[in-house]
């Protein structure tokens, strides 16, 4: 099963060597998504290492999104992460459809509340002004991907909570209110999820790393129309950013 032995004399820790070896097999397609890995005891015997070392390697790969550990069932190769790059403003539904995944939502909570200072600042509202709060569990192919809470001005979008909101919110805004989010800013944080969030997202108890994304969406006249706080699964979601270096001529001028 594992053709290369670990080198106990190497300065590279044994758990890291095993981590790299397992990752290579997954990336090479030798173990496909859903495949069950050897048990911890089997890996210990194959590599002649301790169970603590094996667990370190498996936990590291689970955090990276390569493995998913199911209590009482074993360790399995995870589905590839959904990669998002900030190139074009899309809704969750559009993003999933482009990846040939079926998007869906479970509406968890709808209500009208006074804007907190943070939400009022994000939407350029007076403190305490009413906003709609829309909390949804976002799914792809019926698998939970994230928990999203959107806030929109109640004055700008009267009757919004009476609409069907289990699909694309952006589609509702366009069709009912002739409002199209034209641009957005996003801030991403790595966070530890609480027990309730882990259960909602269907993640293994040991995996509690998530990606918190805060988005402000703006209309074509650059007025903020939506503030969204999303907690996305750290084992299924990642962000890829394309960076371009300025020319050396420009750098020389800056000096």
Does this chain's domain 14-77 share its CATH topology with 82-239? no
Q: How high is the pLDDT of residue 90? A: 62
- Domain 14-77 belongs to what architecture? Orthogonal Bundle (1.10)
Report the chain's mean pLDDT, rounded to a whole number. 82
pLDDT tens digits, one per residue of 47-76: 888 889 888 888 888 877 788 877 778 888
Examine the pLDDT at 168 and tell me if it is beyond 80.
yes
Residues 6+ apart with CB under 8 A from 218: 181, 182, 183, 184, 224, 225
Q: How high is the pLDDT of residue 254? A: 45
pLDDT tens digits, one per residue of 177-201: 998 888 888 888 888 888 888 889 8
Examine the pLDDT at 87 and tell me if it is beyond 60.
no
- Domain 82-239 belongs to what architecture? 3-Layer(aba) Sandwich (3.40)
Helix/strand/coil for 242: coil
**CA–CA gap between residue 151 and residue 169 (Å, rounded):** 11
List the chain domain ranges.
Answer: 14-77, 82-239
Examine the pLDDT at 19 and tell me if it is beyond 90.
no
- The C-alpha angle with vertex 157 and arms to 155 and 158, in degrees rounded to 5, equals 75
């Amino acid at each position: 099963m594992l053709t290369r032995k670990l080198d106990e004399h190497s300065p590279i820790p044994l758990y890291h060597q095993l981590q790299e070896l397992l990752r290579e097999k997954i990336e090479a397609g030798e173990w496909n998504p859903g495949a069950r890995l050897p048990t911890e005891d089997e890996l210990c015997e194959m590599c002649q290492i301790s169970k603590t070392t094996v667990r370190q390697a498996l936990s590291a790969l689970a955090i990276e999104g390569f493995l998913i550990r199911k209590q009482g069932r074993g360790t399995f190769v995870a589905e590839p992460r959904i990669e998002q790059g900030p190139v074009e403003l899309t809704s969750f539904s559009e993003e999933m459809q482009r990846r040939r995944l079926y998007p869906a939502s479970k509406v968890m909570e709808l209500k009208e509340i006074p804007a907190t200072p943070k939400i009022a600042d994000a939407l350029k509202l007076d403190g305490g002004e009413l906003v709609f709060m829309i909390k949804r569990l976002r799914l792809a192919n019926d698998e939970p991907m994230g928990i999203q809470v959107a806030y929109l001005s109640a004055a700008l979008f009267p009757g919004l909570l009476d609409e069907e909101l289990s699909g694309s919110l952006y589609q509702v805004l366009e069709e009912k209110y002739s409002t199209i989010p034209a641009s957005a800013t996003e801030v991403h944080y790595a966070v530890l999820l609480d027990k309730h969030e882990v259960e909602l997202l269907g993640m293994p108890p040991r995996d509690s790393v998530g990606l918190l994304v805060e988005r402000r969406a703006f209309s074509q006249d650059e007025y903020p129309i939506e503030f969204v706080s999303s907690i996305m699964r750290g084992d299924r979601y990642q962000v890829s950013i394309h960076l371009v270096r300025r020319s050396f001529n420009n750098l020389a001028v800056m000096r």
